[in-house]
A and B are shown apart, each in its own frame.
Chain A
Amino acid sequence: MVRYLLGRIIGLIIVLFIVSVLAFLLMHSIPGGPFDETKNPLPPAAKANILKKYGLDKPIYEQYINYMGNALHGDFGISFQSPTETVIDLIARTWPVSIQLGLLAIIVAFTTGLAAGIIAAIKQNTWIDYIVTFISTLGITVPNFVIALWLLLIFSIQLGWVPTGGWPTEGGEWTSAILPVITLALGPSALVARYTRSSMVEVIRSEYIRTARAKGLSARVVILRHTLKNALIPMITILAPQIPNLITGTIFVEVIYRIPGLGKFFVSSIYLRDYPMIMATMLLVAALWSITYLLSDILYTVVDPRVRLS
């Protein structure tokens, strides 16, 4: 177990290292830099000074070593697009918005998905089952920017029930959170519903459920305590990869609903070639994903002792 974990952690570090090198090289192969001037050319001396200040005059491997050295101390540099803030400040300002959005979406997705899945499994092959299956197929296959646009068209523009954008903690009304959360939650919720349904159906047929029924336990107890508990195990592998995805801010949803989160900020970083910001975001996302995968594997052995890590 310890050996396995060590191997995985070393693998994780290697992956992060490769991601950082790749990102760094790719970023610096973009022609043009953040201090290219088109309208008001700087005197060459002043420009050299600026480049020197940000370390952009050094050879690229030296820039990388410098950068990573600082990064390991928690210093990701200063954002080019907002020079009064460090990258850490900027992430600290924009990420909480994405995390709130993501967590709300996860909660909504999990509860609705679970409920829908249970109902569909109990009412197998009835019209309720078919409706749940249809909506979950829609939720899984249709891209979220399409759904975002549809919801926006119907509920904000035609009906006028909710604002078209904004976020509650950033000066918007609280109702502005409704559509983005629904949009983000639909896909994962559909996944949860589909897996709850199929594993419930499987567990319902198993022998210990028959025993539980034969003992005279009520339907509710059988479903909640016996069936659901065992049906939940595969959910870890389904839901875990969704978490980093949701809390790092889904770019499309943030762009469409004008939510000032990390995702929207990342897009503007790419437009503006804000190297430090792009690097930090890429590393953040990569680290989150790798750690979540590792944790979900470990969690799996805790929930289901039959599974062994090797």
Chain B
Amino acid sequence: MSTATDTPVKAPAAAAEPEVSNLWRDAYRRFRKNKLAVGAFIVLVFLILVAIFADVISPARYDYSNLIDANQFPNSQHWLGTDNVGRDFLSRIIYGARISLVVGFSVQIIALLIGVPLGIAAGMFGGWVDYIIMRGVEVLTAIPIWLFALFIITVWQSGETNQSNGLLNVILAIGLVGWVDICRLTRAQILTLREKEYVLAANAIGAKPIHIAIHHLLPNALAPLIVAVTLGIPSAIFTEAGLSFLGFGINDPLPSWGKMVADSSSYIRVYWHLGLFPTICIAITMLTFSFVGDGLRDALDPNLKT
């Protein structure tokens, strides 16, 4: 976790190098030195590849079931066994990675789309705009995020006449309540950055506030935002797994790791593998994103440490 010790060591080396140093190059150099973060990044790339090429690498379709093969322990034909309706468990785990990552990334995109503009508005305009936005933020922090998401999903689920797989609902619900951190962070960044001299200069030559926000403030707030998004992905994945675990998330036949854990709980005394494998995948995914996120934070802003 601690990379602060590296920083003073390599500072003179950086100064000696002829190439111009900028934020991203320095960050890359610092990140490369953090073995844990690099290791996690490799695992992350592997996970993403698995998710993208799920169709190619998985031995069977995630929804192909063969009841004769139901409830098998791991064996040479089904490496991770089969579930209670005879679906190859490895394939479901692989497709589950795709679902988890899709949820994680899409939720953060929604959170950015809502949180950044609101954060900029709150930080730039202040006054009643700020007051209203911050009350909204407070409302969403007054209740655990997934509880709100749970609530929204229940409302939507029962509103549908056709049976949907729940993926879109889950993404929208978590995104709609998950922008709070991004918004708060953007606002805080704007408030600090707008005191800088270059903003004064931009003001002096008559730039409009929106122009200043987008062209001068936002690029400088990019580093903390990237960190926040990286750390936001695992919490979105966790929320999805949790909702699916409670039965309010993604529905069969789509494979969700959280749902697979829930389905396994009735058979867990005998078929332990049905509970073990998805939980291991959830844990690995969460750890990977956290390590990469922590590494990015240390690399992008050595002063900002928890």
Query: Using a CB–CB distance below 8 Å, which chain A residues touch chain B?
Result: 11, 14-16, 18-19, 22-23, 26-27, 29-32, 133, 137-138, 140-143, 145-146, 149-150, 152-153, 157-158, 194, 198, 245, 251-252, 255-256, 267, 270, 278, 282, 285-286, 289-290
Contact = CB atoms under 8 A, between A and B. Distances in A.
Nearest to B131: A11
A30 B290 CA distance: 36
Contacts of B268: 149, 152-153, 157
A19 B159 contact: no
Nearest to B291: A137
A153 B276 contact: yes
Contacts of A278: 151
Most buried by B among A15, A137, A194: A15
Contact of A18 (B135, B245, B282): B135
5 contacts: A18-B135, A143-B242, A158-B272, A252-B246, A290-B142
Nearest to B138: A15
A23 B143 CA distance: 11
A116 to B, nearest CB: 14
Nearest to A124: B2
A252 B245 contact: yes
Interface string B261-289: 10001001100100110010011001100
A30 B158 contact: yes
Contact of B159 (A15, A18, A31, A289): A31
B49 to A, nearest CB: 22
The 3 A-B residue pairs with the shortest CB-CB distance, nearest first, are A286-B142, A146-B279, A141-B290
Contacts of A267: 246
Binding site secondary structure of chain B:
helix
B150 interface: yes
B60 interface: no
Contacts of A289: 141-143
Contact of A146 (B151, B155, B283): B283
Nearest to A251: B246
B62 interface: no
B155 A29 contact: yes
A30 B282 contact: no
Contacts of B283: 138, 141-143, 146
A157 B279 CA distance: 16
Contact of A32 (B158, B234, B282, B290): B158
Contacts of A23: 151
Nearest to B153: A270
B1 interface: yes
B225 interface: no
A146 B241 CA distance: 10
A145 B242 contact: yes
Contacts of B245: 145, 252
A165 to B, nearest CB: 11
B152 interface: yes
A30 B143 contact: no
A285 B144 contact: yes
A143 B286 contact: yes
B306 interface: yes
Contacts of A152: 268
Nearest to A23: B151
Contacts of A290: 138, 142
A142 B154 contact: no
Contacts of B282: 142-143, 146
B139 interface: yes
Contacts of A150: 276, 279
A11 B135 contact: yes
B207 interface: no
B147 interface: yes
Contact of A245 (B139, B144, B150, B290): B144
A59 B290 CA distance: 48
B95 interface: no
Given A142-B283, A143-B283, 19 more contacts: A18-B135, A19-B142, A27-B151, A30-B158, A31-B159, A133-B1, A140-B290, A141-B290, A142-B282, A142-B286, A143-B238, A143-B282, A149-B275, A157-B269, A194-B306, A252-B246, A270-B154, A282-B151, A286-B142
Nearest to A290: B142
Contacts of B152: 26
A18 B287 contact: no
Contact of B279 (A14, A149, A158): A149
A19 B286 contact: no
B41 to A, nearest CB: 16
A173 to B, nearest CB: 18
Contacts of A19: 139, 142-143
A137 B1 contact: yes
B234 A141 contact: yes
Most buried by A among B139, B238, B268: B139
B275 A153 contact: yes
Contacts of A140: 290
Given A29-B155, A152-B268, A252-B242, A145 B261 contact: yes
